[in-house]
Amino acid sequence: MAPARSPRALTAPELGRLMRPLDPAARFGVAVSGGADSVALMVLLSQWRDWLEARGKEVPKITALTVDHGLRPEAAEEAAQVALWAKALQLPHKTLRWEGDKPSSNLQAEARTVRYRLLTDWCRAGQGRAGRGRADLLTAHHLDDQAETFLIRLQRGSGVDGLSAMAPVRVHHGVRILRPLLDVPRERLRSTLLKAGQSWVDDPSNEDERFLRVQVRNALPVLKDLGINRDRLVSTAKAMGRARAGLEFSTDVLERKAVRWQPFGYAEVETGCLTDVPDEIALRLLARLVQRVGGSDYPPRMNSLEALLDAVRGEALGRGRTLGGVKFTSRLAHFRVLREAAAVGQRLDLVSGSPLVWDGRFDVRLTGRKASGTVQALGRAGLRQVKEEGLPLPTDVPKLALETLPALWRDDELLVQPQLAYFATGAPTFRSRFLGEI
């Protein structure tokens, strides 16, 4: 019996065909942990760049990005190794570090949140107000990740959204995340590395059966004997993805009809529009409202959303209900969705040229030489200072929305609040933009 042939390595033209429908920006970062998958993507991108250049075509600006979470002593050394590999491939490299104290619980989930925050912050750093200079973020998720993720979410009892295949393009904090390798098996990425003579870092956690993903990966051969193979799992995930896309389309239609997003960080919703639509669509819209106004990456629990929908339809919001750091209040034939003051994010130190996302809701940035300050909610004290300056306040905007706007401070001195046109003498240029409108 002839030995099995090794899977074919990916080529630069193949990657180009995978990239084309994603419509990548002229500048992007690629997340490279040092593991085989992400290093393979970095190698392929360098080959694709050379292939484009040899044909006289426009070449994108590619930067390899490594996040050092500071959780393992080896992490800094691994980031330095990725930097050397990137240099050999003639790619710029940047290490992004998770500074400050680390949580004592739910560490993996928090690390993932911080990782994407650091990566997307970098991508937004060169973007102007009109979106010029934007950068996309590329990740190395592949076909096997699709199958493993489907089983993990099935084990957790996920619904349509959780069981859907990962999307080739999604937007996170105003940055497009591109996944060009979703239809590529893991073994082809390994062959690509071997053909290029490229090393990688083996993460010991990938063999640690305390982690659910490792347990699922080891269970796949058993499922294969039952006819449940990788391709069938991915096919099912894609079918669920199509169902999700249909539900999201209907929710988009409802949002355009019912919701008016406000640049002050809140939404006004026509109550009657939620009366006759299917529960699933109304619940999805409420979840979307909570996530955008509350700056959350994840929707609330379904039982909480169902209770909220009953209150909206029954006109029983009363003096207001809160969910996920968001307050719902009735106003004639509408209800308002406002950020809850007590849930607003902590102070954020900001320096010139380093845009960040504040409270998960606003893109904030400083321009000018060596400008700095602290971003925090305007609050009652700040609103009082604006009034004392004699500036006219918008009469149709709720006070709570004004108090939860981002403002630039230096110690206890209010420097800038752009939505209310408050600028202290000599203050740096500070801009903020509500991401929920995207």
Tokens 């949580």 belong to 103
Lookup: tokens for 79 = 């980031």
| Predicted local confidence at residue 126, as pLDDT | 66
| Predicted local confidence at residue 2, as pLDDT | 47
Domain assignments of the chain as residue spans, ordered by start? 12-99+109-234, 263-342, 346-437
Residue 401 has pLDDT above 90, yes or no: yes
Reported confidence tier of residue 129, pLDDT bands at 50, 70, 90: very low
Find the helix or strand (DSSP H, E) in which 176 lies. strand 175-178
The pLDDT > 70 percentage for the chain reads 95
Q: What is the mean pLDDT of residues 358-366?
A: 91
Q: What is the pTM of this model?
A: 0.81
Residue 343 has pLDDT above 70, yes or no: yes
Q: What is the mean pLDDT of residues 389-399?
A: 92
Q: What is the mean pLDDT of residues 153-166?
A: 88
pLDDT tens digits, residue range 30-89? 999 999 999 999 999 999 999 999 999 999 999 999 999 988 888 899 999 999 999 999
CATH of region 12-99+109-234, choose from 3.30.10.20, 3.40.50.620, 3.40.50.200, 2.40.37.20: 3.40.50.620
pLDDT tens digits, residue range 193-205? 999 999 999 876 6
Q: What is the mean pLDDT of residues 223-228?
A: 87
| Predicted local confidence at residue 28, as pLDDT | 95
CB-based contact 43:82 (threshold 8 Å):
no
The C-alpha atoms of residue 410 and residue 124 are separated, in whole angstroms, by 24
Instruction: Give Cα 14 to chain centroid, integer Å.
Output: 27
Residue 131 has pLDDT above 50, yes or no: no
Nearest to 118 by CA among 180, 45, 172: 172
Residue 346 has pLDDT above 70, yes or no: yes
| Predicted local confidence at residue 73, as pLDDT | 83
The C-alpha atoms of residue 38 and residue 141 are separated, in whole angstroms, by 8
The C-alpha atoms of residue 70 and residue 76 are separated, in whole angstroms, by 8
Average pLDDT of the chain, as a whole number:
90
| Predicted local confidence at residue 3, as pLDDT | 52
* 377 or 3, higher pLDDT: 377
The pLDDT > 90 percentage for the chain reads 69
Lookup: tokens for 424 = 């202290």
| Predicted local confidence at residue 6, as pLDDT | 77
